[in-house]
Amino acid sequence: MPAHHPAPERLLDYAAGSLHEVQALLVASHLAYCPACRAQVAEMEACGGVLLEDLPPEPVSDALFGALMTRLGEAAASPPPAPAPSSGGLFPGPLRRAIGAEPEALDWVRVVPGVHLSTWAIGAGTASACLLRMAPRARVPAHRHTDSEMLLVMTGGFSDEFGAYRVGDVASYDTGTPHHAVADADGECLCLLVQDRPLVFTGPLGWLLNRGFRF
């Protein structure tokens, strides 16, 4: 069971279908690991459906309000959907469908020693996604963002100033939050990286690193 989840408003936007497709891909991939968030999203979707069906244009009577609450209760009690089917590959189902390949078939660009980004990337303009691969103990240089970033761990783990992240966990960074990740010592760490803007690296290597980022 993952310990770090997408922010509740991200789950709500996902359930409402209003999340950017790139961020929705990360949330859908997290759901493949996380029964707790699957249950929450199922509940939100059920509530949304009930409200759309039953919300009248006039003030709600006590009787209708009671009926609505009963249906919300039933919706909340219904079991969450089964996890996305997996063929046993490394990627969660939604991501595997988006990429159409497993990691060994992808090409990678070295950012700094031990840290690679996939040449596979999707999204443009307001959001983009690619894969981040870190060798054991590799460090991603300190950087900050002009907008937010999310990382989903798919193999291994990493730590930063805010916590330790394992398979299925989502790390979320708000605009301008400086942070740096260090991969766990016991194996390679593979993440799905989603960002709202291109990265801005701080420090002396910044210019060089930015030359390597092409989404």
In the complex, which residues of this chain contact Zn ion (CB under 5 A)? Answer: 5, 34, 37
Task: Compute the distance between CA of residue 178 and CA of residue 180 in angstroms, rounded to an integer.
Answer: 7
Nearer to Zn ion, 30 or 116 (CB): 30
Structure tokens that stand for 13 in this block: 């936007």
Cα(173)–Cα(171) distance, integer angstroms: 7
Nearer to Zn ion, 4 or 96 (CB): 4
Beta-sheet strand order (sheet of 182-183): 163-165, 158-160, 182-183
* Distance of closest approach, residue 37 Cβ to Zn ion, in angstroms: 3
**Residue 124 Cβ vs Zn ion, minimum distance, rounded to whole Å:** 27
Complex with Zn ion: residue 32 or 99, whichever CB lies closer: 32
Give the residue carrying structure tokens 């949330």: 27
Q: Residue 79 to residues 42, 53, 110: CA-CA distances in angstroms?
A: 8, 21, 44
Write down the least CB distance from residue 2 to Zn ion, Å: 5
| Residue with Cβ nearer Zn ion (30 or 145) | 30
Residue count of the chain: 215
Q: Which C-beta is closer to Zn ion: that of 24 or that of 37?
A: 37
Least Å distance between CB 27 and Zn ion?
Answer: 9
Give the whole-angstrom CA distance, residue 42 versus residue 61: 27
- Cα-based distances in Å from 202 to 1, 43, 162, 207, 209: 34, 41, 19, 9, 9
Closest contact distance (angstroms) between CB of 211 and Zn ion is 35
Interacting residues of 9 by C-beta distance below 8 A, sequence separation 6+: none
DSSP state of 60: P
CB of 166 to Zn ion, least distance (A): 12
Which residue lies nearer to Zn ion by CB, 34 or 46? Answer: 34
CB 168 within 8 A of CB 29: no
